[in-house]
Amino acid sequence: MECLEKEMAQFLKSNKKRYHRFLKASLEKYKSLGSLGGSIYLDNINDEERSLLCKIDSKYISLNEAKITVKKFLSVFKNTKYADVDFTKVLKIYFNDELKSNREIKEEKKREKEEFFNSILDEFKNTKAFDWLKYALDNKTYGYNIIIKQFEDNKENFKIVLENVLKAINFLNDDKSPKRLAIFASLISKDPHYFDEGNIPGALLISALSFISNIAVPENLEEKSGLLYSFGILKDEVSNFTVCANIKAFTKDGEHSGIKGFLESGEPLQLNLWNLSSIKDIICKDKTLYVFENPSVFSEVLEKTGSIKPSLLCTSGQLKLASLIFLDKAAENVDKIYYSGDIDPEGIYIAYKLKQRYKDKLIYWRYDTKSYKKMKSKVTFDDRRRKLLEGIEDDALKDLIDEVLKEGCCGYQEMITKEYVEELLSKGSRSISRDSHQCHKCHH
């Protein structure tokens, strides 16, 4: 019988113009239903196909399309030597196809996926890496889409990638001491760029560390760098810096002598991630830190207040990781952080986010309608930036936001540089006699 099925398949192949589209439609129905059945639809019937259909019903002589059941199509072979063949076997031979139904294929893929991931999960049982991967697979989050796509694209290569990422996760969870990203990547994979931005291993590492930190996966580069830093990974350690003045800093060995020199000279200094990684404490005069968004304002205030040396920080617009790390360290030892910046959608939003981070310690400095009137320019902002303002919910900023939305113009802090200087000099005159930099660290 098997020889007859091969013979039939060969016969059908030699008459493709007549049979092929019927066979193709029959195959699709089999895969859909899991058995031979259902209906076949053909349009733009050719002469050979019409001749075959007329054996079923003469009406097709004048029609250009047809809809018949698979059963009726097979009836064409009823009075031939192929009447009793197993037609599913004929289809297998004709298409060189194992002829699995879509359901069978789906179940097979599901089993294959489960076996793949279960073998990896078994390898990393009772670790943070296991917790992440299991949660990601069960809840379809924290990198799930990347995981599944890579598995489907090339599971053999992805197995190596995933195992490297899992090893990296456990390493970082156990050892949060400072380490450079490229060196760490080389240690794990022998490729210094393995965890770089834009690479699959880097994206999965960020997803996993976000899970461990119980935060949403960050989208911008600065937030990703911050997440890596929290696990001891230094990225852009030299180029990511902040500018400050008149502060004391302490490492595990005592006061930082280099920073002490800048304090004594009253000069500004740049602190990058490398510098900050060794600093344990940052001490500010009068336990107060004044933060400026714009470098020109920072420089002017620093120069004009040299007689009292207030502790200053310049964030240079959008907050870099270095600025946030500086603020985090300073916040442990200060009572107040005065933040001042432009009164525009981005400037107000940065102030708002810092308020959420540092709570009562952060004071909105000159974020009021009176200051806005002095700072207001003719530069307008668009609807996209307007929506940023409209999303801020803070009673302390409500009057200002309403005024800014009404006016539709940006306010720049350069316009009130003189007021900043006068306020600081006024405060300094009341506390100049105190050694404001004195703290418990200084007695060590």
217 with 207: CB under 8 angstroms?
A: yes
Per-residue pLDDT of 37-82, as tens digits, reads 899 899 999 999 899 888 888 888 888 899 999 898 888 898 899 8
Structure-derived torsion over alpha carbons of residues 347, 350, 356, 360, reported in degrees to the nearest 10:
-50
Fold of 241-443: Dna Topoisomerase Vi A Subunit; Chain: A, domain 2 (3.40.1360)
Residue 299 — pLDDT band, cuts 50, 70, 90?
A: very high
CA angle 143, 144, 150 (to 5 degrees): 95
Q: Domain locations in the chain?
A: 2-99, 108-234, 241-443
**161 φ, ψ (degrees, to nearest 5):** -60, -50
**264 φ, ψ (degrees, to nearest 5):** -65, -35
- Rg, the chain, Cα only: 36
49 with 20: CB under 8 angstroms?
A: no
Per-residue pLDDT of 325-357, as tens digits, reads 999 999 999 999 999 999 999 999 999 999 999
Q: How far is residue 93's CA from residue 10's CA, in Å, rounded to a whole number? A: 9
Average pLDDT of the residues in 91-113: 82
User: Is the pLDDT assigned to residue 181 strictly greater than 70?
Assistant: yes
Q: Out of 75-79, 114-118, 423-427, 437-441, which region has the weakest mean confidence (pLDDT)?
A: 437-441
Query: Exposed, middle or buried, 319 (CB in 10 Å: 0-12/13-18/19+)?
Result: buried
Residue closest to 33 by CA, chosen among 86, 71, 75, 82: 71
Cα dihedral 349, 350, 351, 354 sign: positive
